[in-house]
Amino acid sequence: MAEAPSAAEPVPLHRGLPDEITVWEILVRLPPKSLLRCRAVCPAWRRATSTRDFLLAHHARQPSLPLLCGYHLSGDGVFLQVTPFDYRAGLAAVDQQLQSVARLGYSFFGLEVSCDGLLVLNGRYRNLGYSICNPATRQHARLEEIDHFALLGMYPHGPTPTGEYRLLLGKSSHGTLAPDVFYIFTLGSGQPPRRISCSNVGDMSYKSTSILCHGSLHWLLEQHEGASNIIKVFDTTTESFQQMRAPALPGKASLFEMDGMLGMYSFNDAVKTIDIWMTQDYASEAWAFKYRIGLPVAELTEQFGKFHNLGEVVVMPGDGELLVLVESEDRLHHVDINGKLVASFHRSGLGVTQLPLKQTLVPHTFFPTLKGYVVNDSPFI
């Protein structure tokens, strides 16, 4: 007969499996909702999975998924639905791949930036200003200190475990960004935005999505047809701006980051192709052409009829490779780098964004310091 463990011997979290495997190989891989359910049924699991080291490791294991968002009408009014697209193999059912992580009850919220599982929302159309939320923990708070600024980007400052995040802000008038006027706002600092000294920055648009790579924020400036592309770079350490050369690409171009490298893609609507370039040497601004992806127009036409309206085309990093998301009418198509149609879904009002979501349960000390801080309450529904 097996002897009961003595008082000095800890009881295993799961009989038959070492704690090291249960916690650091199984629980650490679960999505946030599943992990929270495990905490509810086992006190030992709750203790083991509530430490900061575990939560950081858990966040690192989460996939970075493309975000879809759109407005929906319900009995309670209009709400914004935020849904990541889970492209990973083994999730064949649509309800598995398109599971909403947040429904926000105030209408006219829009997504501005995404960083480490945190989303900054813009509700200025309803005079609600900016706010920040964590869909995984259902925390929400107002950012009233920046209501009159243009939000350019968000980034972690210093080592991520410190939990300090900063926002880069500009001043705008009638949609135009004021040159050489920029501010830094540290979440939870209790201080107003701090103006920084930046000269000769020149014109830049704050409407394009910022990409964080090599410790800097990047924006692709709009150029005339055939002209070389210019990337504006903000070094988050020196708090200074620089410019970076990029290849001249036909059609609409955008940036992305993959495995520490800066990438750029352009969509040629006339021939339905996507060109993708990657930085071969970031320091010397050397770029290399990687792929030309032809969209499977014939296959899509055969299955869904002729295209009447081809919407947003987005290229984002997937699990070790790039994935392409294409909107057409009421459908969203997933295409691989070989131009093969992987899957197609009804969008149900959801539109593709250039923002990823890497969910996190890591606690952030800045949340309770912000105005209107709530957990699991309005505007979440």
Least confident of 83-92, 98-107, 206-215, 323-332: 83-92
More confident residue, 229 or 260: 260
**Residue range 213-217: mean pLDDT, rounded:** 94
Q: What is the pLDDT of residue 308?
A: 64
Encode burial over 299-337: b for 16+ CB neighbours within 10 A, e otherwise: ebeeeeeeeeebebbbbbbbeeebbbbbbbeeebbbbbb
pLDDT digits (tens, 9 = 90+) for 116-169: 999 999 986 666 789 999 999 999 999 999 998 999 999 998 765 567 999 999
pLDDT band at 13, cuts 50/70/90? low
Q: What is the pLDDT of residue 9?
A: 46
Phi-psi map region of 11: left, alpha, beta (phi>0 left; psi -120 to 50 alpha): beta
* Maximal C-alpha separation, the chain: 81
Q: What's the topology of domain 62-375?
A: Neuraminidase (2.120.10)
183 vs 151: CA distance, rounded Å: 10
CATH 2.120.10.80 location in the chain:
62-375
pLDDT band at 95, cuts 50/70/90? low
55 vs 71: CA distance, rounded Å: 32
Q: What is the pLDDT of residue 7?
A: 45
More confident residue, 113 or 318: 113
pLDDT digits (tens, 9 = 90+) for 342-374: 988 888 788 999 999 999 999 999 999 999 999
Q: What is the pLDDT of residue 193?
A: 97
- In the predicted model, is pLDDT for residue 276 greater than 90? yes
Closest CA to 217 of 150, 173, 290, 167: 167
Task: Give yes or no for a contact between 373 and 141, defined as CB atoms under 8 angstroms apart.
Answer: yes
Measured CA distances, 353 to 70, 309, 313, 324 (Å) = 10, 17, 9, 12
Least confident of 151-155, 175-179, 332-336: 175-179
Report residue 35: phi and psi, to 5°.
Answer: -65, -40
**Residue range 298-311: mean pLDDT, rounded:** 80
Closest CA to 41 of 49, 51, 52: 49
Task: Give yes or no for a contact between 141 and 371, defined as CB atoms under 8 angstroms apart.
Answer: yes
pLDDT band at 225, cuts 50/70/90? low
Residue reference for tokens 């989460």: 62
Q: What is the pLDDT of residue 1?
A: 42
**Residue range 47-67: mean pLDDT, rounded:** 94
**Residue range 289-294: mean pLDDT, rounded:** 94
- Dihedral of CA 246/248/249/252: which sign? positive
Q: Using CB atoms within 10 A of its CB, is residue 150 exposed (0-12), middle (13-18) or buried (19+)?
A: buried
Task: Give yes or no for a contact between 183 and 228, defined as CB atoms under 8 angstroms apart.
Answer: no
